[in-house]
Structure 1
């Protein structure tokens, strides 16, 4: 995200995101002056910038004392050819960004997408960033899942958020960068997060779902359980949305083609860190809900279990932890020899050690029986949804120069609530 020389218009590429509509991609960027919102693009090997799409900009005024003004530009590219690579730049005649490239997502349900996923990557001590940048530009990933905490909190009147966006450009400008909110985004009612990112749906990126390959992926806000000052109605609104979305995903005709249901949310239901966070408590708000609201607010564990969620991705804890299949604080392995083959409960992965200023956390020396593998190394997770029955996960240690320190295959011959029995 380097500044453009023309008229001092500074272009900050926030990056790409899926729209939920096959054959399309959304490009989002920021300027500090009001300009047109244009993306010029073309197929690699074809005529450069032979196509143009026009979008719109919205004025975002940061709530810090300077009331800094930013214009957030959004342009949707349509009619993209699956798996084709495009070159593009964005801006207007008053100044253009650098030239970037992306590969349009394959919209086939037989596609086997590859993901990098992590949370808690900040602008200070972003240790895993260089490796992620290189691997993204080598074409190792189709999508990035950033599971909360971006350091877009409005320190220094949102300039820290600007700097973070510049840092992730070398990832987010090349592949869809899909997000969910974390606790560090809470200032001014998550205003920086809600304005800077463009996720599918009409919920200001707080919760949404989308499909890729044989997976239905749901992003949610765990923060609705903790920031009731912004309105407890958000908690109930999200829960009802989740229930409706899961019901639709479980319709026989939908689950047949996209049997994997994967969720991502910032704060885990379970963890074995020693920091007294919500996930260390048996009565976790995220897991069991809150009884101090009227009416009591339901938690997520029973909902996800009832609708057969296969995999739950979390962050917030600055560690990596893989759990045995778990429900109700008890382990439900597929078998003692093959715990992740036809598991009898959802699989949980906590991946919050990408690198941030708070460093890594420490673990409770006496974890519960559901804790299968733990690491305090800086790193991130890779995932591939291989087909309708097989999903692969591995953990990369940046401390150990990219070594894979943990891996599992999740194998499910049957999906949905009935798969638990």
Structure 2
């Protein structure tokens, strides 16, 4: 038996001994879905801070719970901050899903399971009319639109979310703890519908490593650029940042351009464009904008639009490429405002007609939706915008889009400042798609 003084000494050390034991972090968190680009599939991604198995148990909603299971793998991600924090990113792909069927699932392992979530397998019919919420520049400080988006997603209002760059502000901050907190915040959206992304300038630290490791988009480019099909649309996600962060590899700029060209060529084959006539792009920094930011919006010589002449060889911009292949709709963010443009090409307006500018427009339609809410607040507008600026708002909010059918796309802007009021809406109507539609 220990002497009394020795027992007392051991007890006095107990808090120190307890504090010295590292916590066991096997509980799944930061659960989010993405569409791998293959019909009948869904990709589940989550994080743990200790290594565990990667398993998803699932079943048809209303049937026997968890009567199916799939396994995947975990990759170690070491953040590049001072603490070199480690986390394990788990990925499991569910296959053989019945289109438009609802499933319940949880993820994890016998060392810990997530909450139960549910999703609807994407409908792979070309006559499907998918509904999207789209926005960029959402942080975990001042995320004004987040609560409304959470509720609307859980009400089943959206089939897909498009987050057009700039996450968390910033994913890497506080040794990536801000990224962890942001991924926990969007779980109430992203665990229910595919959360499709593209990189923005706020992801650039450590060569976009937090973005590249945390998200799981289609293709083999670490989520930097990719394309996928849904309903009557071919959707392309791209990195505008390859034009700005040449220190991470100028070859990425040319590699993406060549990929875009091949992807657009494939999408424009008559047999492909006939079934998926809409081509929609999403990228972070817009080609046109009218914010008073003393940057792209006030210079009108956007790298993204016109390319760069200070590289060898000169780097081509994207406006001519997108115009040549008949891109219908271009979605952007970066500016912390909402702006709808008239159909524009080469800095000139090409409306379908005076009465119906979006009826058979003669150039692509641009939408900028970067006002979801972040710590940088809302941007000011240039008081004298160019003629292509059709509608502008500094309200916090986000955009809804529905690809209704092969000829009609509907877009509307929701103001969170005005309690969910729709403050702008348009129908883009095209009886003809492709380059010949401009003529």
> Which residue number in structure 1 is paired with residue 78 of structure 2?
61
1:12 counterpart = 2:29: yes
Q: CA offsets per residue over residues 202-258 of structure 1, 9 Å max, x none?
A: 000000000000000000000000000101100000000000000000000000000
Question: Displacement of 1:279 after TM fit?
Answer: 3.6
> Which residue number in structure 2 is paired with residue 36 of structure 1?
53
Q: Which has the larger radius of gyration?
A: 2
Q: CA offsets per residue over residues 244-274 of structure 1, 9 Å max, x none?
A: 0000000000000000000000000000000
Q: Distance in 1 between matches of 2:25 and 2:34?
A: 27
> Which residue number in structure 1 is paired with residue 92 of structure 2?
75
Give the unaligned 5+ runs of structure 1. Answer: 1-5
Q: Distance in 2 between matches of 1:14 and 1:285?
A: 35
Q: Is the 8 A contact 1:267 1:279 kept in 2?
A: no
Q: Distance in 2 between matches of 1:272 and 1:94?
A: 52
Partner SS, residue 227 of structure 2: strand
1:306 counterpart = 2:327: no
> Which residue number in structure 2 is paired with residue 195 of structure 1?
213
Q: How many residue pairs end up in the alignment?
A: 416
Question: Displacement of 1:8 after TM fit?
Answer: 4.2
Q: Is the 8 A contact 1:14 1:196 kept in 2?
A: no
> Which residue number in structure 1 is paired with residue 145 of structure 2?
128
Question: Could you state the TM-score of these two structures normalised by the residue count of structure 2?
Answer: 0.94
Q: Is the 8 A contact 1:323 1:371 kept in 2?
A: yes
> Which residue number in structure 2 is paired with residue 86 of structure 1?
103
Counterpart pick for 2:242 among 220, 224, 228: 224
Give the unaligned 5+ runs of structure 2. Answer: 1-22
Partner SS, residue 158 of structure 2: coil
> Which residue number in structure 2 is paired with residue 3 of structure 1?
none
Partner SS, residue 317 of structure 1: coil
Partner SS, residue 157 of structure 1: helix
Q: Is the 8 A contact 2:27 2:111 kept in 1?
A: no
1:240 counterpart = 2:258: yes
Question: Displacement of 1:7 after TM fit?
Answer: 4.9
Question: Could you state the TM-score of these two structures normalised by the residue count of structure 1?
Answer: 0.98
Instruction: Summarize the alignment of residues 214-293 of structure 1 with structure 2, pairs less than 5 Å apart.
Output: 214-293=232-311
Q: Is the 8 A contact 2:24 2:50 kept in 1?
A: no
Partner SS, residue 343 of structure 1: coil
Q: Is the 8 A contact 2:45 2:90 kept in 1?
A: yes
1:163 counterpart = 2:163: no
RMSD, matched Cα: 0.9
Ranges of 4+ aligned residues in structure 1 off by more than 6 Å: none
Q: Is the 8 A contact 1:53 1:76 kept in 2?
A: yes
Q: Is the 8 A contact 1:7 1:95 kept in 2?
A: no
Q: Is the 8 A contact 1:270 1:280 kept in 2?
A: no
